[in-house]
Amino acid sequence: MSIVSVRGLTKVYQSYVREPGLRGALRSFFSRQQHAKTAVDALDFEIQSGEIVGFLGPNGAGKTTVIKMLSGILYPTSGQAWVMGFVPWERRKQMKLQLSVVMGQKQQLWWDLPARESLRLNQYIYELPADKFNRAVAELCELMAVNELLGVPVRELSLGERMKFELIAALVHEPRLIFLDEPTIGLDILAQKRILEFLKHVNQARKTTILLTSHNLMDIQRLCPRVIIINRGRLVSDGRLADLCQVLEQKKIIRIETSQPMLIEDLQLLGEVREFDPHRARVEVSREAVRECAALLFARHSITDINIEDIPLEENLERIFAREALKVA
Q: Is residue 220 part of a domain?
A: yes
Q: Model confidence over 46-68: pLDDT tens digits?
A: 999 999 999 988 888 889 999 99
Task: Say yes or no to pLDDT of 187 above 90.
Answer: no
Do 160 and 292 share a domain, yes or no?
no
Are 178 and 171 spatial neighbours (Cβ–Cβ below 8 Å)?
yes
- pTM for the structure as a whole: 0.77
Do 116 and 239 share a domain, yes or no?
yes
Task: Say yes or no to pLDDT of 218 above 80.
Answer: no
Task: Say yes or no to pLDDT of 304 above 70.
Answer: yes
Domain count, the chain: 2
Of the pLDDT bands very low, low, confident and very high (cuts 50, 70, 90), residue 327 is low
Looking up residue 85, the CATH number of its domain turns out to be 3.40.50.300
Q: Is residue 279 part of a domain?
A: yes
Q: Is residue 175 part of a domain?
A: yes
**Count of residues in the chain:** 329
Q: Is residue 242 part of a domain?
A: yes
Do 212 and 280 share a domain, yes or no?
no
Do 127 and 222 share a domain, yes or no?
yes
Do 152 and 217 share a domain, yes or no?
yes
**311: closest CA among 280, 281, 285, 273?**
285
Q: Is residue 111 part of a domain?
A: yes
Do 234 and 255 share a domain, yes or no?
no
Q: Which domain holds residue 114?
A: 2-246
Do 254 and 236 share a domain, yes or no?
no
Q: Is residue 322 part of a domain?
A: no
Do 196 and 275 share a domain, yes or no?
no
Average pLDDT, the chain: 85
Q: Which domain-ending residue is among 226, 246, 266?
A: 246
Q: Which residues of 243-253 are buried (b: 16+ CB within 10 A; e: fewer)?
A: ebeeebeebbb
Q: Is residue 15 part of a domain?
A: yes
SS3 labels along the chain: CEEEEEEEEEEEEEEEECCCHHHHHHHHHHCCEEEEEEEEEEEEEEEECCCEEEEECCCCCCHHHHHHHHCCCCCCCEEEEEECCECHHHCCHHHHCCEEEEECCCCCCCCCCEHHHHHHHHHHHCCCCHHHHHHHHHHHHHHHCCHHHCCCEHHHCCHHHHHHHHHHHHHCCCCCEEEEECCCCCCCHHHHHHHHHHHHHHHHHHCCEEEEECCCHHHHHHHCCEEEEEECCEEEEEEEHHHHHHHHCCEEEEEEEECCCCCHHHHHCCCEEEEEECCEEEEEEEHHHHHHHHHHHHHHCCEEEEEEEECCHHHHHHHHHHHHHHHHC
Task: Say yes or no to pLDDT of 328 above 60.
Answer: no
pLDDT in the model for residue 113 = 87
pLDDT in the model for residue 61 = 83
Looking up residue 298, the CATH number of its domain turns out to be 3.30.70.1150
Do 235 and 255 share a domain, yes or no?
no
Do 139 and 286 share a domain, yes or no?
no
Q: Which domain-ending residue is among 246, 269, 296?
A: 246
pLDDT in the model for residue 87 = 95
Do 155 and 292 share a domain, yes or no?
no
Q: Is residue 38 part of a domain?
A: yes
Q: Which domain-ending residue is among 190, 223, 246?
A: 246
Q: What average pLDDT does range 198-205 have in this prediction?
A: 89
Distance CA 204, CA 200 (A): 6
Q: Model confidence over 93-116: pLDDT tens digits?
A: 999 999 999 886 677 888 888 989
pLDDT in the model for residue 88 = 94
Are 12 and 56 spatial neighbours (Cβ–Cβ below 8 Å)?
no
Do 223 and 256 share a domain, yes or no?
no
